[in-house]
Structure 1
Amino acid sequence: MVRFGYTMMTEQAGPRTLVDNVVAAERAGFDFSVTSDHYFPWLASQGHAPYAWSVLGAAAQATTRIPLMTFVTCPTIRYHPTVVAQKAATMQLLSEGRFRLGLGSGENLNEHVVGGGWPSAGVRLDMLEEAVEIIRALFAGGELNHQGTHFDVENAKLWDLPGQAPPVGIAVSGERSCSLAGRLADLVIATEPKAELLDAFDRHGGAGKPKIGQLPVCYDTDRHAAVLRAHDQFRWALGGWPVNAELPGPSGFEAATTYVTPDDVAKTIPCGDDVGAFADSVRPYIEAGFTEIALVQVGGDRQRPFIDWAEKHLLPALREL
């Protein structure tokens, strides 16, 4: 059975609100949750970017059942992989085994802030592979020394390790990242319903492992208001990963989406309160082979109405697909 998740979108709300929302999502019956990990929002109109790991720690204490996950953390530039390993191990302990570590090669939007430059896509994947190997080694226990192509580690050790390490997920967008995920990850992450990505993941060792997708939706009883809000806050999503990974800040996303219209957004993001339209947007992910699908409700001030509506109407309909 496909599982349906709730997204704590850190670009849309402050930390206390994010925690309150995931508590509500747990009560509403969502099967899992994921959390973005950004230093900037994509667009200034979104208005937020709290530190995701503090939010996750608070969420672990405020909830009891719902799984938590980064979607995704870049463990290569803004964070050193040894620090990511420590954070993830601590989260697994705080959540009593409900945490999964989602990793990706990152976006210039967030990683440029430390002044280290922005490598090419191929180099970023090399860095990600080395980072995952470091994280895995630290999860295994003992002291780690590592002199690699991109990272050095000196006498590192995790002193608080959970009995079971957090499962590691890797975000994919092409053949090379699918190969990396198939070999090194416990699950795969994608934001487009492309069966070829999941097939490539399976070919490289991922067969039988969880496959997690994500898509934005914009609930509102006023469809016109929903379309305008989706355009205002989520038109960046139409740019695609090759573009979005390279832009350095909200002003870049503003410029890149100048000619995106509300109608363009409405063709991609289901807007309003038509359960059938929302289900139609989810169906391609199921048909592609995703086993878990996280929904992103657009608009920080419209989370609770969405959660209430999802509990009563959307989740029952999606579970019948």
Structure 2
Amino acid sequence: MQRLYTYPASFEESISRALSKHQLTLKDSKALAKCVMALSDYFIHRPESPTPWNESWAQVAYLCYYLPLNSTRLRALIDEGDKRGFFDGLDRVIDFGAGLATASLTLSEKHPLKFHLVERAAEPQQLIENFFPQFKCEEWVRTFSSGRLKDPKKTLALFSYSLTELADLPDWAYECEALMLVEPSTQQDGRKLLGLRQKLLDKGYYAWAPCTHQLACPLLMNSKTDWCHDRVHFQAPEWFLKMEEQLPMKNRTLTMSYVLMRKTPPQPIQAARMVGDLLKEKGKDRQLVCRGPQREFLAWMHKTGISQEIPRGVLVELPNDMQVVSNELRLKSEIKVL
């Protein structure tokens, strides 16, 4: 039942070509790990500073570490969008704060859209143009404004790990038909994203994924600490595992917070979404579930002999015979995973 993902196969050849520029290969585990630690330390000590794209070690770290991890997360997100038909009818993408264009690269593997990348640094553009020839981009620009927006009714505004630096979306984004917002799965970034979701609902947008409803978020409204995040399992290649042996960080599972929203309403879906991990308690097991504005738990009472653990983020069909007791939905049989 685990959701197992990896990055697109075409990326590995591109990564290898780009690493050769730095006299490295995917087999140079220690050298690659050293670059990853250098960039990690840089962000720890200078969290507000821009990515040092001009540094060789920063480029290597993004290529061999952050690109595989983030593209794997995004594949899971895009898969959820595809299940709902989220990308249908869209023609172009504006990728704001694109960095190494990981989100656009990953999206282009399945959707041949017109990509416009907004990124102040010049080095990422050079890396993509030189080593990722499979990616076709309409333009790279340093800044973007409403005057550059073409056909907003068919445009997706994409913000991947770039909202954390903004107080709000830029004005032009609210003109676009669709929004794809991806942030780190931290409490601060996750709750900020939930607040933005509500603002977008108030402006007439509809939530397509991961939400199954258009009501207030129960984690935002009924808790001061909870936040919504998804988890997928990373099927890492051998070279990545060898590099990871040299690092204190392990990545068997990957998390993210995201919302996909459009001005067009989605088809209604009769399902609930698992938004928590299994909690083993005295006499019962519980798992946080979302189907509306109330903070609710599925509950498996030990006396029934039913035992079930459902992966965070998946959709489930709620049975008609469940017993509602306070904020618990007590199950009399195993629940169906969709």
| Fold shared, TM-score > 0.5 on shorter chain | no
TM-score, length-scaled by structure 2? 0.29
Structure number with higher strand proportion: 2
TM-score, length-scaled by structure 1? 0.30
Larger Rg: 2
